[in-house]
């Protein structure tokens, strides 16, 4: 049976009635958890079981406390972006308390930060120098945290619906693990960033000691 497709998803366009109801609900209901979102990030994730597969991901993150963050992951920053997964980020302090097997599901953020891959896309109205100071301050914190990612919708594979099991994703930890200059360079050209500049202004950020059980997909310690 054939289906219509809207916004890259199987389904009919929003009806006038649904649009009206959506507008009314948006104007009257509470969206308290979403108002806690305080950071918009962009980076690349790698499939923990297929290291040849990577996905550019837009993150919208909130702090629940000083040690815990939670992020909604989308395939773009467009209004009709598809929600493709979740990422939890915890402090080094919380990570150290995890048992060794659990630690293998988590990845470090050192390479993402120091390489300039991880960025907070700058609002057009914000002066570059001002924004970069704020972004660099944020990166000084992110470099120490550990993340756990599951993608629920593999839109990069052409899936029009979130089918199949969740996929554990991880992070790159070295430049030679994919064509960094090509993929990150193309991303930067599109959103007005420059990973080389980011790497330069982040040279002062201290590199924390990474737990040996983290980033396990690159150490052949697990298949999920």
Q: Mean pLDDT lowest for which of 4-18, 47-61, 194-208?
A: 4-18
Burial group, residue 16, by CB count within 10 angstroms (0-12, 13-18, 19+) = exposed
Q: Output the average pLDDT for the chain.
A: 91
The yes-or-no verdict on residue 23 having pLDDT over 70 is no
Q: Residues near 207 by Cβ (< 8 Å), separated by ≥ 6?
A: 110, 114, 143
Q: pLDDT-based confidence at 116, cuts 50/70/90?
A: very high
pTM: 0.88
- Which residue bears the tokens 């837009």? 58
Over the stretch 171-222, which tens digit does the pLDDT of each residue have?
999 999 999 999 999 999 999 999 999 999 999 999 999 999 999 999 975 5
Tokens matching residue 75 = 């395939």
The distance of Cα 3 from the centroid of its chain, to the nearest Å, equals: 30
């Amino acid at each position: 049976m054939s289906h219509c497709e809207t916004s890259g998803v199987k389904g009919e366009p929003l009806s006038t009635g649904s649009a009206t109801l959506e507008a009314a609900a948006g104007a009257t209901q509470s969206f308290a958890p979403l108002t806690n979102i305080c950071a918009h990030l962009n980076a690349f994730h790698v499939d923990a079981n297929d290291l040849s597969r990577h996905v550019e991901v837009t993150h919208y993150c909130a702090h629940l406390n000083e040690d815990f963050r939670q992020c909604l992951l989308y395939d773009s920053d467009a209004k009709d972006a598809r929600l493709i997964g979740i990422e939890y980020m915890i402090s080094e302090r919380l990570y150290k308390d995890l048992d060794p097997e659990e630690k293998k599901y988590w990845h470090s953020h050192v390479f993402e930060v120091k390489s300039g891959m991880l960025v907070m896309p700058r609002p057009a109205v914000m002066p570059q120098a001002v924004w970069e100071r704020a972004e660099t301050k944020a990166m000084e914190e992110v470099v120490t945290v550990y993340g756990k990612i599951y993608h629920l919708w593999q839109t990069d594979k052409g899936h029009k619906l979130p089918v199949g099991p969740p996929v554990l994703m991880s992070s790159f930890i070295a430049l030679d693990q994919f064509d960094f200059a090509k993929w990150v360079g193309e991303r930067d050209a599109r959103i007005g960033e420059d990973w080389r500049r980011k790497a330069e202004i982040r040279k002062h950020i201290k590199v924390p000691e990474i737990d040996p059980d983290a980033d396990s997909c690159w150490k052949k310690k697990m298949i999920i």
